[in-house]
Amino acid sequence: MKINIAYLYPELLNIYGDKGNILAFVNRCLWRNIEAQIHEIHPGDNIDPDVYDFYFIGGGQDQQQIAVADELHKQKDALTQARDNMAVFLTICGGYQLLGHYYKPHSGDKLKGISLLDAYTIAGNTRYIGNVTVKTEFPLKEKTLVGFENHSGLTYLQGDTKPIGFVTTGNGNNGKDKTEGAFYKNVFGTYLHGSFLPKNPHFTDYLIQLALERNYGKVELEPINDEIEWAAHNKAIGRKY
């Protein structure tokens, strides 16, 4: 079995070690003898939605977000087709915001997103920084997710877009409704850095399974030795700083 990975704009969006998510995803594939091939997508490249099974977009500063927003709009039709064909997306922080309808800064024009998620983000007056613990209802062997947030954007979900879970520690999407992240079909967005996937091996496996099932039907992943990953996960639960 094989998964083709589209790693979008790594030179622009790779803040707080977001590349660690790609490394965790790939290694948990390789340890099971699943081929995982990374294709870096750079500004000016075209995306073929029939090729890629898993898309990753990291976070970045405002200036990098502006550049990436322009690139994403050039690929909006292809990425929308990929979503509707049940490709898997994981997007972090700034990348997550760009998958909604828009980001509205304190001043200046809205930064338009590509509307893969029915969500929008506005600039807030408080920066949320710290560890986050989330309770989720996904079919995982452990219902807790952990990570680290560092954002001032306030994201609100609408329609069929639902939260990944609800925060028990930290602030999540907007510090008000206790939601964290978003998903629609196989598109996932989150504010959790940390990196997110190394600390959450069960969620990593969930994404791998979804990516495989796009081409191979129902898949059961064989267990691997991930004691170190679970130790990191358990150590982070409930930590505020």
Domain ranges of the chain: 2-236
Q: Catalytic: which of 101, 151, 193, 233?
A: 193
Q: Catalytic: which of 93, 101, 151, 202?
A: 93
Q: How far apart are CA 155 and CA 175, in angstroms?
A: 9
Question: Which structure tokens are listed for 106?
Answer: 């304190």
Mean pLDDT check: name the lowest of 9-18, 111-120, 181-190: 9-18
Looking at the chain, the whole-number percentage of residues with pLDDT higher than 70 is: 100
Catalytic, 93? Answer yes
Per DSSP bridges, beta strands 179-180 and 165-169 are: antiparallel
Of the pLDDT bands very low, low, confident and very high (cuts 50, 70, 90), residue 62 is confident
Domain 2-236 has CATH 3.40.50.880: yes
- Written as one letter, the residue type at 141 is K
State the pLDDT at residue 173.
98
Mean pLDDT check: name the lowest of 12-16, 92-96, 228-232: 12-16
Average pLDDT, the chain: 94
Catalytic, 29? Answer no
Tens digits of residue pLDDT in 77-134? 999 999 999 999 999 999 999 999 999 988 888 999 999 999 999 999 999 999 999 9
* Closest C-alpha among 64, 27, 8, 1 to residue 201: 27
pTM (whole model) above 0.85: yes
Is residue 29 within 8 A of residue 91, CB to CB? The reply is no
State the pLDDT at residue 194.
78
